[in-house]
Amino acid sequence: MGKRTKNLQRPSGLTRREVIGLLGVSGIALAQSNTGSVAAFPEGSIIRTVLGDMPPEALAGGATLFHEHMSLSPDFLPKFMSLLTSRPPTATPAPHPGETYFLRDLDLMTEELRAAGHEGVACLVDGGHPDMGRSLDFLKRISERSGMPIVSGAGYYSEPFYPPQIATSSEDQIAQSLIREVGSEPYGALGEIGSWDEMTPNERKVFRAVAKTHLATNLPIFTHTNFGKGAIEQLDIFESLGVNPRRLAIGHVGGLIDAQVHVHKEICKRGAFVGFDRQGGPGDARQIPMVMALIEAGYADNLLFASDFSSATQLKRNGGAGYAKTVTVFAPKVREAGASEETLRRILTDNPRRFLAFVPQQKAGRGRAE
Ligand SMILES: [Zn+2]
């Protein structure tokens, strides 16, 4: 664990001196905004990036996007789309003969992440894991080369993607193996943890194992739902096992279109984060009224924004808005709809840091340190 803290890297938007200054912060650390609001982090809190632990204050200079993808296997999306549409996969896994899939292309991804850093992104969270073909080594290399801090998730995605041993392992066996995994590599979250449609018995088993992993490690959890389906059920499982909802983000709930924001409010009321995490595209128009309804109901502190980036057409190189599109495309629309600058700053900068920051458990510790 010691080597992680030595490895602290410079986050975008901060000078070396500023980062070194932040390292001296002790006790209850305070991040003061220019309008006077203060984000406090419990003593000893860190955000665990793939290159080392960082004090949450070091990411105050920009947006942290809590659900993106920077490494997937070339056949992940074709399989995902074919399951979603119940049609056989049509997309060819490799773009063109001789061309590297973009989520395997070191130079391209380095360039894209640098651009995102210049557009106000301070940190990106990757929601993949081995069952989606995510490579931790690739994340480390693009982070090192681009200077963009990356938090990597751990866990299992959803039933159609599970490795065979999930079916034959018990809940406790899955938990034990996850606890070992997150203890040996620099994982900063458990996510994305999904139910593909109606939650299956194996998915329920994984959710319970992830809850136990959280209790043993304090790592935050973010989930995948099929456009919000089963969102409350996910929350119920975690809460029934003692997970504090404040450490939990229910994902893709922006896709549940409801002017009354019934489910969204319920999640906020119980203290969890609501993920509007496929932003910066054609879905924005129907989701912005829901975001505004939640802000007006006093739930700005429960909102998390991201783009679930996974399409080559969205790359800067291909004329898209790139990894910063939550900041450069979606946030201006929310501002236009009436959200204040300060509210947007809180949602993009403070909420994700509050979500990600945790006090690591001692190696032998198994209890809750909330
Ligand atoms: Zn995702």
Q: How far is the CA of 218 from the centre of ligand 1 (A)?
A: 21
Q: How far is the CA of 194 from the centre of ligand 1 (A)?
A: 9
Predicted pLDDT of residue 98: 72
Overall average pLDDT of the 130-134 stretch: 96
Predicted pLDDT of residue 254: 97
Residue located via tokens 């910063």: 324
**CA torsion angle for 200, 203, 209, 211 (degrees, to 10)?**
-100
Q: Is 97 a residue whose pLDDT tops 70?
A: no
Q: How far is the CA of 197 from the centre of ligand 1 (A)?
A: 15
Which pLDDT band, with edges at 50, 70 and 90, does 88 fall under?
A: confident
Q: CB within 5 A of ion ligand 1: which residues?
A: 127, 192, 308
Per-residue model confidence as pLDDT tens digits over 218-249: 999 999 999 999 999 999 999 999 999 999 99
Q: Tell me the C-alpha distance between 307 and 64, whole Å.
A: 11
Q: Tell me the C-alpha distance between 304 and 282, whole Å.
A: 18
Q: Is 202 a residue whose pLDDT tops 80?
A: yes
Give 81's DSSP letter: H
Q: Is 89 a residue whose pLDDT tops 90?
A: no
Q: How far is the CA of 20 from the centre of ligand 1 (A)?
A: 33
Q: How far is the CA of 69 from the centre of ligand 1 (A)?
A: 6
Contacts of 269 (CB under 8 A, 6+ apart): none
* Strands 29-32 and 38-41, sheet pairing: antiparallel
Which pLDDT band, with edges at 50, 70 and 90, does 16 fall under?
A: very low
Q: DSSP of 25-52, one letter per residue?
A: --SSEEEE-TTS-EEEE-TT-BEEETTE
Reported as type and span, the H/E element at residue 53 is strand 52-54
Q: How far is the CA of 24 from the centre of ligand 1 (A)?
A: 35
Predicted pLDDT of residue 39: 61
Helices (H), 70-200: 76-85, 106-118, 136-146, 165-168, 171-184
Which structure tokens are listed for 27?
Answer: 């006790």
8-17, 44-53, 71-80, 288-297: lowest mean pLDDT where? 8-17
Per-residue model confidence as pLDDT tens digits over 335-368: 999 999 999 999 999 999 999 999 998 654 444 4
Pair 172, 180: CB distance under 8 Å: no
Residue located via tokens 């995605």: 157
**Polymer length in residues for the chain:** 370
Q: DSSP of 163-203, one letter per residue?
A: -THHHHS-HHHHHHHHHHHHHHS---EEEEEE--SSPPHHH
Predicted pLDDT of residue 91: 54
Pair 132, 157: CB distance under 8 Å: yes
- Count CB atoms within 10 A of the CB of residue 20: 12
Q: What percent of the chain has pLDDT over 90?
A: 82
Which structure tokens are listed for 149?
Answer: 């801090």
Q: Is 34 a residue whose pLDDT tops 70?
A: no
Q: Is 24 a residue whose pLDDT tops 80?
A: no
Q: How far is the CA of 257 from the centre of ligand 1 (A)?
A: 19
Per-residue model confidence as pLDDT tens digits over 41-86: 999 999 999 999 999 999 999 999 999 999 999 999 999 999 988 8
Q: How far is the CA of 67 from the centre of ligand 1 (A)?
A: 6
